[in-house]
């Protein structure tokens, strides 16, 4: 008889399964994590970080939950899983929360950089607008093209559909035969990877 989530979701069982590489039990535990705790974590994130755009928090919370599950698995496989009287939910949320905080900080740094860039352009615009803006746009365009070349074909296709062909989320989701909510998360991850590549290339050129 297959064990229930209630039977699987305890520190001892989780530590045993991941440390000893018990694949069947491990997969069941991960499935229980998602079915029992993901929506709860996303809801908590929306309430706690309501000063951020709700779509951004939802997408980051979903990504952070996955990262938190992976972090917990890694810790358990090394025999380093947090041992105390805390519940599995508390331990998992601890990992997920740390991941979410890191992701939110990255987004804030990116937003601050964009504001600084806009300020530079705005100040230059008071004098000689055309030349400065044209230079910045040309440099940004070149960085984006080079970054796209480093991405996989699937990511490039999604970005092309949305930003070049102007397809709606509904249209793209229908082509890929996935839910719009899944597509939203996928688009966010694509753009996140693109921004990271642009920053890395820009840093190398500096």
Torsion of CA 75, 101, 143, 164, to 10 degrees: 100
Give the span between the Cα atoms of 147 and 161, in whole angstroms. Answer: 17
Please state the pTM of the whole predicted model: 0.54
Domain definitions of the chain by residue range: 5-105, 151-205
Overall fold of domain 151-205: Arc Repressor Mutant, subunit A (1.10.10)
Q: pLDDT truncated to tens, each residue of the chain (206 aa)?
A: 677 888 888 888 888 888 888 888 888 888 889 989 999 999 999 999 888 888 888 888 888 888 888 888 888 888 777 555 678 888 889 889 998 888 888 777 766 655 554 554 455 445 444 554 555 566 677 778 888 888 887 888 888 888 777 888 888 888 888 888 888 888 888 888 888 888 888 888 76
Quickly list DSSP for 108-169. Answer: HHHHHHHHHHHHHHHHHHHHHHHHHHHHHHHHHHHHHHHHHHHS-HHHHHHHIIIIIS---H
């Amino acid at each position: 008889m297959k064990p229930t989530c209630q039977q699987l979701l305890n520190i001892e069982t989780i530590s045993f399964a991941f440390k000893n590489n018990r694949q069947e039990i491990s997969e069941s535990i991960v499935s229980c994590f998602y079915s029992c705790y993901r929506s709860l974590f996303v809801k908590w994130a929306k309430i706690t970080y309501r000063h951020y755009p709700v779509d951004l928090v939802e997408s980051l919370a979903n990504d952070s939950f996955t990262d938190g599950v992976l972090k917990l698995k890694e810790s358990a496989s090394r025999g380093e899983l947090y041992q105390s009287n805390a519940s599995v939910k508390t331990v998992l949320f601890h990992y997920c929360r740390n991941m979410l905080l890191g992701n939110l900080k990255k987004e804030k740094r990116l937003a601050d950089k964009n504001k600084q860039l806009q300020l530079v352009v705005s100040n230059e615009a008071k004098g000689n607008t055309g030349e400065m803006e044209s230079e910045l746009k040309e440099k940004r365009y070149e960085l984006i093209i080079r970054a796209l070349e480093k991405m996989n074909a699937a990511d490039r296709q999604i970005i092309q559909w949305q930003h070049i062909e102007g397809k709606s989320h509904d249209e793209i989701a229908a082509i890929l035969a996935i839910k719009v909510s899944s597509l939203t998360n996928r688009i966010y991850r694509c753009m996140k990877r693109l921004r990271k590549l642009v920053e890395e290339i820009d840093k190398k050129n500096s």
